Chains A and B, each alone.
Chain A
């Protein structure tokens, strides 16, 4: 780690790539982990994509969601291929609604699927998911209590859809982020893709945006009163000269990587490996988005994530 005073900022570096001495500002969201299984991995992925679609940001979606990772048959409750999905919502009630709707519309119709809870259950804070989806059975549903967990068997056209009655809810961390600035779009996109892949591989985190990469980084609020978020002009290259730019002078492009996790440690680890993966020639600065403390209580300083950082 080294410091310089270029551009009147305190700068750090990783393998010679500049790292801005700033922080990502993350915030707490209610979270749930959903295990989906099906007869083969293709069906698992189809169901997972359907359930986690249009869930990039709670700014405009009912929740944030993504695929945490694939699970081998020996890692799932019914011995079939599966996947772990993470869902994040503003509150437990809103998350419960999202889960019921997304599992009910995205996973239940997909052939051979079954859905299980993936987090410890606190009876006072659990989410009624299968307990609501069961009504699709129109009175033909069957409940089974096994190992202190209640499952619902709902008759469907290819047999039965099995879903667990209640799901555990945790307090997750959303809004961890990195902003990668590079000399060209191709180089920056490649670096961002590499970083997104590394970040997504950390267990217990998701990158909720498409491809894990955001080109439309936003700031809180806008000049239009009804709009909660709007483009982050400080990182838009085309607005240089018109606004106070936060871009490196040599940057032509910036991409943001947003990460949500089951806990702060996972988000930090994801950002750590993301920074490492993004530090390639042609990237001129790795930064992070924050909103001056207006958004959330978790301040993740990039300097702490560098090798040898605090």
Chain B
């Protein structure tokens, strides 16, 4: 495992899209130390900001220290494991296509934005626009899974096309806005206007009845094994990822299906208590 320890924290963000296990796996530590990062608008090297130890040849990287201003870590990665012990900055795992990012700490905005595959696990909170589409993009996350034990900010899973996002806590406003397909599970409280303009897809809020937009219509209690499949999967996942203590899974009550958003196609659904 390659260990990268942040030497000191700066207010100026560090853009470090080179920090991805699949590309570092074939490099020696000297080369890694000389890889380019951007400190604000200044070109710099990894070694200027991180103490580089161990070896990346096994496809595993550990980021330590205060990385809350480190942007784009693991972005575009296709394989391997990136572990973060502490906070991490914006755009982590953006456009990710495979592998695992495990963050034991809080993550910044745009976590897993437009990701295509792989899994991101945050044992903490995440910022705004988690799993979202970048501004102007027609599709957001297109595959993979994001599991967050804590809460998230606004516009969770905006324009989600495919994949699963699970939030153990609460969300900010507009979760699942413009949802195209895929599934978002919010185990805490949903922010205002969930599923606004969603076309298809599912938003599960099993323990909270959010205030719904008037363009959603009740279809009555949902009689389907589909929520049970998700619950069982989450139980299995929590066990596998050792999140039993932090991902609050308690039995889901009977859920009511609200179909919408009827300002668009209307084939989406919000499943929550009546």
Contact = CB atoms under 8 A, between A and B. Distances in A.
A146 interface: yes
Interface string B218-241: 000011111011101100100000
A146 B233 contact: yes
Contact of B229 (A77, A112, A142, A159): A77
A78 B202 CA distance: 18
Contacts of A162: 224-226, 229
A78 B225 contact: yes
A77 B232 contact: yes
Interface in A43-95: 77-80
Interface string A134-145: 000000101011
A227 to B, nearest CB: 45
Nearest to B268: A142
B183 interface: yes
B244 to A, nearest CB: 18
Interface in A141-180: 142, 144-147, 151, 153, 158-160, 162
A144 B228 contact: no
Contact of B228 (A78, A145, A158): A78
B226 A160 contact: yes
A90 to B, nearest CB: 32
B223 A78 contact: no
Nearest to B231: A79
Interface string B173-205: 000000000010000000000000000101000
A145 to B, nearest CB: 7
A153 B225 CA distance: 9
Nearest to A145: B162
Given A145-B162, A146-B233, A147-B233, A37 B225 contact: yes
A78 B226 CA distance: 8
Given A142-B200, A144-B183, A151 B229 contact: yes
A206 to B, nearest CB: 25
B232 A79 contact: yes
A77 B183 CA distance: 19
Nearest to A160: B224
Contacts of B223: 112, 158-160
Interface string B72-85: 00000000000000
A146 B225 contact: no
B165 interface: no
Given A144-B202, A145-B162, A146-B164, A160 B230 contact: no
A114 interface: yes
Contacts of A144: 183, 202, 226, 229
A145 B229 CA distance: 11
A146 B166 CA distance: 12
B61 to A, nearest CB: 25
Contacts of B200: 142
A146 B162 contact: no
Interface in A207-235: none
B224 A159 contact: yes
Nearest to A147: B233
Which of B163, B225, B232, B236 has its CB near the most chain A CB atoms (within 10 A)? B225
Nearest to A161: B224
Interface string B244-274: 0000000000000000000000010000000
27 contacts: A77-B229, A78-B225, A78-B229, A78-B232, A79-B228, A80-B225, A114-B225, A140-B267, A142-B200, A144-B202, A144-B226, A144-B229, A145-B162, A145-B163, A146-B164, A146-B183, A146-B229, A147-B233, A151-B229, A153-B226, A158-B223, A159-B224, A160-B222, A160-B224, A160-B225, A162-B224, A162-B229
Interface of A: 37, 77-80, 112, 114, 140, 142, 144-147, 151, 153, 158-160, 162
A-B complex: 7 closest residue pairs judged by Cβ atoms: A159-B223, A160-B224, A78-B225, A78-B228, A114-B225, A159-B224, A162-B225
